[in-house]
Structure 1
């Protein structure tokens, strides 16, 4: 092959690479907590295994300051999409933040209620007078905790709820300065790994608790439906792989998130907890789809207990248009 022909081949290759790069749509996704948390494993797997790229997306992850901040940043266009809970839109739309869920990452709720097994607590009713940790008072897990407490006729003033953040919950549960927590599966695994036996009950057993959700603004959905569809499809693809083989998914995940490289067994344990307690479907809805009846139950509780300023139409809080 002569030099001129080689030059043509090289130029063609550069042109093709440039066209491929141009075909990628930049997408910013905002997490409500550090992106290395195993709760966000489906996103890291979808990114690391190239599923977003296959959908024509160049995804950048960023971290917000909790769920309320994510909802705000997504609503005003500072991020294209973000992470919340299935009922986040019910809480924030009344405040003028026009966001909605575009995918629900599981048929169960992500919030788990756990208490130290050495505290003589045998059920929710025994939490009266106890100290309970939550990530923050603007986080959906806090609202879920209030709903669970109400099932035992307990109110906010009947317990000592402390906003501690993820690290604070783990440290205080291990140290024994709090009796219980409302949080996610990976915090439970970390506490148990420190030798603290816990009793765990999903909030879903008491209330229409929701799983994680991908949220986007009404404007972004209207203007970029194919971007939303590509992102949702790629993320759900990763979830199905975790369900099918948690052990392999854990090995792949630590390859993309090296800080967990020494914790493969614990990551696998966490993923199995997600498969059982979060991703498992309720009925015959496909993973990703919202259940309007469950959302209505959640909203009715929030309104009755004055946890939201006003009710919004449940149909405005979600869309199942991107779920296949």
Structure 2
């Protein structure tokens, strides 16, 4: 009888597992750049450590062509969620794309402006007439660059902006065929590790640059709020892991992405840079939450410098409903 009871219990357990598997909600997340970039470590950690699965989600990653392209794909339903910057919705909603940020992955801006120290550049004003690399012309870091240049009354036609992709930016900065770049912390670490001294200034020093954001369409939020909440909470849990122990997070990360296995030390340095320069919060705002005052400042800057087509109500560009449980 005992054997029969154990057998029934095992069968019940298998049935429960099967039901749990069937209950997993499929969700496609679209990255604005290759998904193996360390900038996306929280997502890879949340997937590899089973946080999304625990939230009842069957997550698939896909790759888009910059933040604006991701916003377009999310808006039309080709992906349920995607990645951009905190101010991406301010830019694309003016073009009729009804998306908004559902989580801001850090209290500081992610975009960094960096230039080679051998180019006689002493500040943003000296970038006039220079060649500057960006990932693409549909990425929010490109718009961030335009905003930074505009703060010194430098227009797009006053510089040579080149869309090079992540690998191209790093190679061209190392090789010296471009003078500067608008990018993210891991590209800076890669260039410096190749022996090229850089000067780095956060875009946030010139206007209200934002961290990465998870974006969703208004329609998907209305129809699938629990899926959005589960994805946001799982991703923020992974960020908490990085903040708590960057060294262990780096080890876990390379375990999930073996292509980085020989660069554990570099990955750890990148993660520490994210902890100090991107994830760090201002005041007591919880990680993941948007600051409407900062978004308003960013929008005012974009409008004043004619970088957006129309004014979007800031409250339409984000929601903090999914940040706290």
| TM-score normalized with structure 1 length | 0.96
Partner residue of 1:33? 33
Aligned-partner Cα distance in 1 for 2:76–2:159: 36
Kindly state the Cα deviation for residue 2 of structure 1 after the two structures are TM-superposed.
8.6
Aligned-partner Cα distance in 2 for 1:57–1:92: 27
Partner residue of 2:297? 297
Aligned-partner Cα distance in 1 for 2:205–2:306: 22
SS in 2 for 1:118: helix
Q: Is 2:32 aligned against 1:51?
A: no
Aligned-partner Cα distance in 1 for 2:10–2:148: 64
Partner residue of 1:222? 222
SS in 1 for 2:262: coil
Partner residue of 1:266? 266
Aligned-partner Cα distance in 1 for 2:90–2:108: 18
Aligned-partner Cα distance in 2 for 1:271–1:2: 52
Change (3 A) 1:8 1:284: closer
Aligned-partner Cα distance in 1 for 2:136–2:130: 17
Q: What are the superposed Cα offsets for residues 292-316 of structure 1, whole Å, 9 maximum, x if unpaired?
A: 1111111112222222211111100
Partner residue of 1:70? 70
Kindly state the Cα deviation for residue 66 of structure 1 after the two structures are TM-superposed.
1.6
Quick check: 2:65–2:138 contact (8 Å CA) kept in 1? Answer: no
RMSD: 1.5
Kindly state the Cα deviation for residue 5 of structure 1 after the two structures are TM-superposed.
6.1
Aligned-partner Cα distance in 1 for 2:66–2:149: 23
Farther off after superposition, 55-64 or 260-269: 55-64
Where do 1:1-324 residues align within 5 Å?
8-324=8-324
| TM-score normalized with structure 2 length | 0.96
Unaligned stretches of 5+ residues in structure 1: none
Aligned-partner Cα distance in 2 for 1:125–1:65: 29
Aligned-partner Cα distance in 1 for 2:5–2:320: 52
Aligned-partner Cα distance in 2 for 1:189–1:253: 17
Quick check: 2:150–2:305 contact (8 Å CA) kept in 1? Answer: no
The 4+ residue runs of structure 1 with deviation greater than 3 A are: 1-11
Q: What are the superposed Cα offsets for residues 237-260 of structure 1, whole Å, 9 maximum, x if unpaired?
A: 111111111111101110011110
Farther off after superposition, 14-23 or 192-201: 14-23
Aligned-partner Cα distance in 1 for 2:294–2:11: 57
Aligned-partner Cα distance in 1 for 2:92–2:83: 14
Aligned-partner Cα distance in 2 for 1:67–1:218: 17
Report how many residues are paired.
324
